[in-house]
Structure 1
Amino acid sequence: MGSVVLSLDAELGWGFHDFESPPVDRVEAGRRGWSVMLELLEEYDVPATWAVVGHLMLDSCDGTHADHPAPPGWFAPERTEWRNRPDLRFAPALVEALFDSDVDHEFASHSFSHVLFGDPETDRELAAAELDRSMDIAADWGRTIESFVYPRNDVGHRDVLAEYGFGVYRGKSPTHDGVRGLFDSIVRSRSMLVEPAVDEYGLVNVPASLFLFGFEGPARTAAESVWADPMVVQARLGIDEAARRDGVFHMWLHPNNLTDPRDDERMRAILEHLDRRREETDIRVETMGETARRLENGRTVDGRVPSVEYDATELSSTPSD
């Protein structure tokens, strides 16, 4: 029997502050989507890994962060277009709501300010600063962090991650999103399960299986008009496969993907199916941290602990933000 993992990249404005023309609907939907997802996960009692940008846990700042080795202009939006938008920069109330949830969610890191760890301009000092500040802020809240989700899934500086005491991260997906992913999973019956593995730094890589908002726009509308929401179909297939076989089905999204009620219904349909399958079978619903601990305890297929090796192509960024 397999398991299902759900992770969320909670970032508000920080997911787009380096965009010249950020998607307005997504930027404005972050707080709404955060609250909706907390309510849905509580309704269906589904624990998830919430990877939170550390800056959101601050109440205020000077907008300069002079002691942070970020590239010139990295924090400029805080002093310009975001100057009067604290709702995009800070979210202590939303983080508090996450901690107060009746569901035992995992609190994870999404860096301090959404720096891309795989970018050639992100050196070791910058990566360390992002982790250091995130952990310090979490400590101020009385929290520790075990899991890390790379901004834009841009994997890099895993050695620094290990040095700062992290134990698990979400790795690059071996499957595909969008039309190609739909074709692979439905037409070619390609598996969406992934196998967590321990890398050379002792970190557990829990790869992503499916980005739940990878099939949008006119294609989604057309598919729904003649068939069904393609992402719900894929998610159900992955959940059903995990109920039959060993392996992990790892779904992920951003709260800001929930821009309207249609998106809410997508997530409700997926969670409802997961809840039903959990009642009918022995399928596990677990967080990234729980998956890692299970792996480290040797409770894997055939009792073995798989390892993973990387090459440069495997560490390239994925298109999802």
Structure 2
Amino acid sequence: MGSVVMSLDAELGWGFHDFATPPADRVEAGRRGWSVMIDLLEEFDVPATWAVVGHLMLESCDGTHADHPAPDGWFERERNAWADREDLRFGPALVADVLASDAGHEFASHSFSHVLFGHPETDRELADAELERSRDLAADWNQSIDSFVYPRNDVGHRDVLADHGVTAYRGRSPTRDGVRGVFDSTIRDRSMLVEPTVDEYGLVNVPASMFLFGFEGPARTVAESIWADPMVALARRGIDEAARTDGLFHMWLHPNNLTHERDDRRMRAILSYLDRQRSATDLTVETMADVASRVAGPRSSAERATASRR
């Protein structure tokens, strides 16, 4: 019996706060795309793993974070250029929408402030602080954190994840994203499935199969003018492959990828197809935590309590 996982990197402005020039269309689309995805996932009853930047759970802050061991200037945009953009820095109402959804989403972590865990400047102290703050904020919302999605898929400090009771993370895709990935997957008939594995820290790596917005700009416009959206076609192929096998197809996106109505149509087409295939076959939809429990077994309450005291 195959399965499909969908994970979302929910970050609003935090995904771009360290850019010299943040992409305006993506920054401004964050809240819209978040709400559209909540509605679509609920309409098709698809539970997803929502990896949320911890800062979004705050109602307010002074932008200083003096007790956070971040590099100098890390919160500069929050204090200055975005000081009056609370819509980019905070999102408690959006977080509440995820938790209230009847789809049964998994609440996961995308770090506290979108720190890149694989960068040399990110030492263990910083990684630990990012996890600790995210976990503490989640606890305030009566949530635990089982899964972690690395900002920009920059994997690092897996031992810190294990110390904080995390059981799963999204590993890098073994396939290519973007135009090259579309070419390889279509022409060479590359498999869209991935294999979850348990690493040396006991964490389950749930690799990504496909980024749903890796084929954009003029190339997408030309492709859609000639035939159907190639990303929808690839997603359908991955869903079909999972339905035929015992394999896993893991697709992901950012809510801020939904900048126009055509992006909404892409997601509706994919989710409606997933819903039809789930009804017609033995295909299941899982969260990352579901996969981790299936692969490594459920974590006992004693183990979780031990991890939370570290």
Partner Cα distance (1:297, 1:165) in 2: 14
Q: What secondary structure sits across from 1:108 in the alignment?
A: strand
TM-score under structure 1 normalisation?
A: 0.92
Q: What secondary structure sits across from 1:137 in the alignment?
A: helix
Q: What secondary structure sits across from 2:252 in the alignment?
A: strand
Q: 5+ residue gaps in structure 2?
A: 299-310
Q: Does residue 77 of structure 2 align to residue 82 of structure 1?
A: no
Partner Cα distance (1:78, 1:133) in 2: 17
Partner Cα distance (1:119, 1:62) in 2: 27
Could you list the runs of 4 or more consecutive aligned residues of structure 1 that deviate by over 6 angstroms after TM superposition?
none
Q: Which residue of 2 aligns with 1:3?
A: 3
Partner Cα distance (2:9, 2:116) in 1: 14
Q: Which residue of 1 aligns with 2:272?
A: 272
| Per-residue deviation, residues 67-89 of structure 1 (Å, max 9, x unmatched) | 00000000011111101000000
Matches within 5 A, 1:21-40: 21-40=21-40
Q: Which residue of 1 aligns with 2:168?
A: 168
Give the deviation of 1:239 after TM superposition: 0.3
Partner Cα distance (1:281, 1:123) in 2: 46
| Per-residue deviation, residues 21-76 of structure 1 (Å, max 9, x unmatched) | 11100000000000000000000000000000000000001110000000000001
TM-score under structure 2 normalisation?
A: 0.95
Partner Cα distance (1:183, 1:281) in 2: 28
Give the deviation of 1:186 after TM superposition: 1.5
| Per-residue deviation, residues 203-222 of structure 1 (Å, max 9, x unmatched) | 00000000000000000000
Q: Does residue 180 of structure 2 align to residue 180 of structure 1?
A: yes
Q: Does residue 94 of structure 2 align to residue 94 of structure 1?
A: yes
Q: Does residue 237 of structure 2 align to residue 237 of structure 1?
A: yes
* % identical equivalent positions: 76
Partner Cα distance (2:202, 2:152) in 1: 22
| Per-residue deviation, residues 176-221 of structure 1 (Å, max 9, x unmatched) | 1112211222111110100000001100000000000000000000
Give the deviation of 1:297 after TM superposition: 3.6
Aligned pairs, number:
298
Over the aligned positions, Cα root-mean-square deviation in angstroms equals: 0.8
| Per-residue deviation, residues 89-148 of structure 1 (Å, max 9, x unmatched) | 000000011111111000000000000000000000000000000000011111111000
| Per-residue deviation, residues 225-252 of structure 1 (Å, max 9, x unmatched) | 0011010011000000000112110000
Q: 5+ residue gaps in structure 1?
A: 299-321
Q: Which amino acid is 1:196 matched to?
A: P
Q: Which residue of 2 aligns with 1:284?
A: 284
Matches within 5 A, 1:100-179: 100-179=100-179
